[in-house]
A and B are shown apart, each in its own frame.
Chain A
């Protein structure tokens, strides 16, 4: 269960559907460069429910075929330059969603159900461009009541970063509960953690409630500050200056290539 990032990346294949979390919920940035180095292609990313730096870098490096997302941006650092360019040039397929629809699709998979019904969406161009979403008449209503059905989202892999795990493979996710449906829905879940603790996290009732049990976890790598330059909730803040440096560099493909070639490690970017 406990291994390193490279051996986890070894298990990824071209064409896999991979779910990644929103920028404040533990992005496993430590996976990004090894995935690019491996030369992975045709990945279908699912952003839960939005994407940022990791998605932009994988797109810039040519690893991505499609992105299902409610948004991709670098937050305070502005728009996601490689995503925006790839969409404009038609090099990736963007499957626009809305945040609660992504959650709904994962919850359907969590329940083993084929779909989850949700309100909203009717009359939007988001719905109009989603032939995979269906509108039905609410069968419990007395009169016409259209409702949208979101099919289950079943990623091959979910990848995220969390504050800690124990040696039995239990991962503590605390209040970032959206990470649990990601793992329930995915065939395999790979996690990087800031620290490994010796005590079993399920032994203490206080930590047990915030645990994603080892049942749902296929591999863990110990990577301190593995979310950098994103933050880790309750542990360290995002490095906004680093995000801004990337945003400025990646405005062009040449700038992106130079940035990725020059900044091999976390420390070098920080200096």
Chain B
């Protein structure tokens, strides 16, 4: 059966996201974010017996209870009712500044990305912001972003209950320390080493002497992922769910 196949890389990432969401009451997931949505759904499934984790998934009808238009998410965050949120970025730097606007000079960027969306607000007010970007390369993980859509840290006089706590990529997991400020390598995903992470990262980061591997999901977690989480994800992200099923089928045939 499908559930006997070893963990896919994406399943390890989703499991890492769920771990970063430990103890949250309400997690919001922005548009076009299938893996963060899956991680939030896994968190909910893992805690089902003990508590209810509230999910707000933009673009979903079943997992979105807002009735006051697209502004309600920001109002809700401003009221302190959203504990965790995800941000990506065309560029992310060692101070956890994120750039969603473009590469090169502003405003006539060499490469223009969509824009800052809600980042210039949510990064300030959501206590646990998880930076998530699958591509981990020197062009994304840069020393300094070309445009600050949202800053990693703020001066002491700026109202800032929120901010980044972690950076998860397709290669590794980092934690963020706002007092330094800077990232610390927490673990590397299967197949990666401290050296491969250094080569792929444009900024300096701290690391332990021995870097552990990002844990793969155990059998019980895999069963949740391939059962209720995959089924729930289908509604909002049908194409992502389909690919996931296909990858599982292909892997089972290989085994």
Contacts and interface: CB of A to CB of B under 8 A. Distances in A.
Nearest to A80: B114
Interface stretch (B6-14, B144-152, B213-221): B144-152
B67 interface: yes
B150 A175 contact: no
Contacts of A120: 120-125
B108 A101 contact: no
A186 interface: no
Interface residues of B, number: 48
Contact of A119 (B61, B69, B119, B159): B159
Contact of A126 (B71, B72, B120): B120
B195 interface: no
B121 A101 contact: yes
B234 interface: no
Interface stretch (A88-96, A188-196, A220-228): A88-96
Contacts of A233: 61
A131 to B, nearest CB: 13
B150 A124 contact: yes
Interface stretch (B15-23, B45-53, B99-107, B198-206): B99-107
A244 B150 CA distance: 30
A175 B68 CA distance: 6
Given A123-B151, A145-B159, A25 B70 contact: yes
Contacts of A144: 157
Nearest to B102: A87
A103 interface: yes
A159 B22 CA distance: 43
Contact of A99 (B59, B74, B123, B154): B74
Interface stretch (A38-46, A65-73, A163-171): A65-73
A50 interface: yes
B118 A88 contact: no
B60 to A, nearest CB: 11
Contacts of A73: 114-115
Contact of A121 (B32, B100, B121): B121
A32 interface: no
Interface string B15-42: 0000000000000000110000000000
A87 B123 CA distance: 26
B109 interface: yes
Contacts of A126: 101, 116, 120, 148-149
A236 to B, nearest CB: 12
A96 to B, nearest CB: 6
A75 interface: yes
Contacts of A118: 121
A176 interface: yes
A110 B131 CA distance: 35
A80 B114 CA distance: 8
A122 B154 contact: yes
Given A100-B118, A103-B74, A125 B108 contact: no
A207 interface: no
A218 interface: no
Contacts of A132: none
B157 A99 contact: no
Interface of A: 22, 24-25, 48-50, 69-73, 75-76, 79-80, 83-84, 87-90, 93-94, 96-101, 103, 107, 118-127, 129, 143-147, 175-181, 233-234
21 contacts: A73-B114, A75-B32, A83-B112, A84-B112, A87-B107, A88-B108, A89-B108, A96-B107, A96-B115, A97-B115, A99-B118, A100-B71, A125-B148, A126-B101, A145-B159, A175-B66, A175-B68, A175-B69, A177-B67, A178-B69, A178-B70
